[in-house]
Amino acid sequence: MEKIVKQKEPLVTHIYTADPSAHVFDAKIYVYPSHDLDEDIESNDNGDQYMMEDYHVLSMDDLNSPCVDNGEALHMKDIPWVSKQMWAPDAAYKNNTYYLYFPARDKDDIFRIGVATSSSPTGPFTAQKEPIPGSFSIDPAVLVDDDNRAYIYFGGLWGGQLEKWQTGSFNPDGEGPAATEPAIGPRVAELSDDMLTFKEAPTEISIVDEEGNPILAGDEDRRYFEGPWMHKYNGNYYLSYSTGTTHSIVYAVGKDPKGPFVFKGKILTPVVGWTTHHSIVQFKGKWYLFYHDSSLSGGRDNKRCVKFTELKYNEDGTIQTIDPYK
């Protein structure tokens, strides 16, 4: 049986890392995390404590190998449109190119999503000079589907500004729906063949309960908050995400990459620290959950560390809930 020596330990301890997007490229594991600064900044609901400036790519030959920090892959000083806050990234491979998708605030303090390219999974990445036209909010996650079409999922409440886009343009005073109204959903758009633009205007994803009723904004145990991830299992599309204020990773399942998705349950119970953010990847026939907590800093929200653990399905395709501390 494969021994997993790094299970539930921080992948690296020499820097703070968060929001791990894990991928298998050329039979190796690459993790694209946020790089938290080693600064003690007071937390607020706007996320001003997350002042990240660059990205490092982590890699492992397999799950028992040492985790390598491949150094700085992209820094905000090299991206003309960015003012601050390089938040949760994701990566994709297509057209013999590696793409790094990342959210950051532009010079007007509005979150946009940028894309950078490299011939290597570890970078360095060269960013496009402008954000993706029509992009907004945070936490991009990209699925390159089996038919080679690619989809980008994104959006986050509160500091992620998704409430401010409900009319289709940025409203600085925009607020979320009443508790009894349908919750705001994440957004999805198909990407153009060159992976650098949206092929279409993003649409809102519908997440419903088993009876087909929309999950409501007041249902904080189930409603979407931030950190979408999309993976496929047995031909079904699994949309997983953070519930934010209730600190869980949950999931919903659908038949189409754009949904609708039926809420199914909880993947990860709360971790140490306010945020929770994850990815799911298959490697050598097993499935793994990459996630973060704040254990390395003794609980500082903005000083997190990336970990992984095995994820298991039941026979009916549901996912077994993981308690990260058992």
Residues that bind ligand FUB (CB under 6 A): 18-19, 34, 50, 87-88, 138-139, 156, 226-227, 275, 277
| Residue bearing tokens 């049986």 | 1
Sign of the dihedral through C-alpha 49, 301, 266, 58: positive
Closer residue to ligand FUB in complex, CB, 55/87: 87
Sign of the dihedral through C-alpha 3, 278, 27, 67: negative
Dist CA 58 CA 66 (whole Å): 10
In three-state secondary structure terms, 194 is: coil
Shortest distance in whole angstroms from residue 226 CB to ligand FUB = 4
Closer residue to ligand FUB in complex, CB, 10/63: 10
Closer residue to ligand FUB in complex, CB, 250/262: 250
Closer residue to ligand FUB in complex, CB, 30/50: 50
Shortest distance in whole angstroms from residue 250 CB to ligand FUB = 14
CA distances from 36 to 15, 55, 56 (A): 8, 9, 10
Report residue 212 as tokens. 């087909």
Q: 4, 63 in Cβ contact below 8 A?
A: yes
| Residue bearing tokens 């894309």 | 115
78 exposed, middle or buried (CB, 10 Å; 0-12, 13-18, 19+)?
Answer: middle
Shortest distance in whole angstroms from residue 88 CB to ligand FUB = 4
Shortest distance in whole angstroms from residue 129 CB to ligand FUB = 23
Shortest distance in whole angstroms from residue 234 CB to ligand FUB = 27
| Residue bearing tokens 């140490």 | 272
| Residue bearing tokens 């419903």 | 208
Q: Which helix (H) or strand (E) holds 101?
A: strand 97-106
* Catalytic hit among 36, 90, 106, 204: 204
Please state the separation of Cα 212 from the chain's center in Å.
26
Closer residue to ligand FUB in complex, CB, 23/63: 23
* Catalytic hit among 38, 45, 145, 194: 38
| Residue bearing tokens 């150094």 | 71
Shortest distance in whole angstroms from residue 150 CB to ligand FUB = 21
Is 38 a residue of the active site?
yes
Dist CA 310 CA 16 (whole Å): 22
Q: What is the dihedral of CA 123, 124, 127, 132, to 10 degrees?
A: 10
Report the catalytic residues: 38, 204
